Amino acid sequence: MKSGIVFLLALLALVVGAITVLASPKYKPTTTRPTPAPLLAIGRPAPTPSPTPTPTPAPVPTVTTVTFNVPVYKQLRNLDCETAALQMALGALGINFTQNQLIAMQPQPDTRAPVMGRLSNGQKIVVQWGNPYKNFVGNIDGADLIPTGYGIYYPPLLALVQAHGVPNAEGGEGARSGWTPARIYAELAAGHPVMAWTETGWDRPYVGTWSAWDGTPIRYSLIEHVVTLSGVSATQVRVNDPWHSGSQYWFGKADFERSWADFNNMAIVFK
């Protein structure tokens, strides 16, 4: 009987303990799942932008040396370089005249003597003379530095060649009118002979302006000279020069352009 009572008391103690635990504020059954910790996001790195490709520059065209056959003639008179240059340019096109024939085709020369003057530094200058845009000025057998003779400019010679087998020839002067070095070099590259007004021996003397009898201003150098160009390269032009015995040689573009500019880029193109 005593052991039965002990068993009942022990059972009662267990029941009371269980009730106490359940009633404890520290015990609360979990009814929701805990919020999981955020996962570490592993993303792909931003793509590295492709570098802008460097444009490949267009290749610089290779300047090819161009030459063409132009006969070399020496001038037969003291001051007929224009006529000798004309003879060479026409000969390149298969049109052959002697210098005396070409002189006879030109307007009659103005052989009146010039009116001379001097600058304060003693430089001798021409004050008034003929008009080389119309005809040859002075004596073709004279001397240019005295001067008793001078020369002729492009208009009468252009008219002559257009009337004698080269109707498409063009002549003129002045960069503003399109007579630029680039144009001359392009004409040469196309195989067209060019007469160019420059100075004898490529010297750089005094360049001035006289007044023609008709009032036209005339830009001049007393060593006016004309050559025929017969080729071009990247840095030079080929020159047929009637001076002395007549010769053909290469000459730097920069030096050519300086002398040519003294006559306002005057030229005749044969094509």
> Helix H segments across the chain?
2-23, 81-92, 99-105, 154-163, 181-189, 253-261
Residue-level pLDDT at 162: 99
pLDDT in tens, 56-114: 444 444 568 999 999 999 999 999 999 999 999 999 999 999 999 999 999 999 999 99
Please determine, for residue 9, whether its predicted confidence score (pLDDT) is greater than 70: no
pLDDT at 271 over 70: yes
Mean pLDDT (whole number) for 24-42: 43
User: For all residues of the chain together, what is the average pLDDT?
Assistant: 85
Tens of pLDDT, residues 173-229: 999 999 999 999 999 999 999 999 999 999 988 999 999 999 999 999 999 999 999
Res 204: pLDDT: 87
**Rounded Cα–Cα distance for residues 271 and 264 (Å):** 22
Predicted confidence at residue 60, as pLDDT, reads 40
pLDDT score at 120: 84
**Averaged over 235-258, what is the pLDDT?**
98
Q: How confident is the model at residue 259 (pLDDT cuts 50, 70, 90)?
A: very high
Report the DSSP pairing between strands 236-241 and 247-252: antiparallel
Instruction: State the DSSP string of 12-68.
Output: HHHHHHHHHHHH-TT-----SPPPPPPPPP--PPPPPPPPPPPPPPPPPPP---EE-
pLDDT on residue 48: 53
Q: Which domains does the chain have, with CATH numbers?
A: 66-269 (3.90.70.10)
Parallel, antiparallel or unpaired: strands 115-118 and 124-129:
antiparallel
Average pLDDT over residues 254-261: 98
Confidence of residue 18 (pLDDT cuts 50, 70, 90): very low
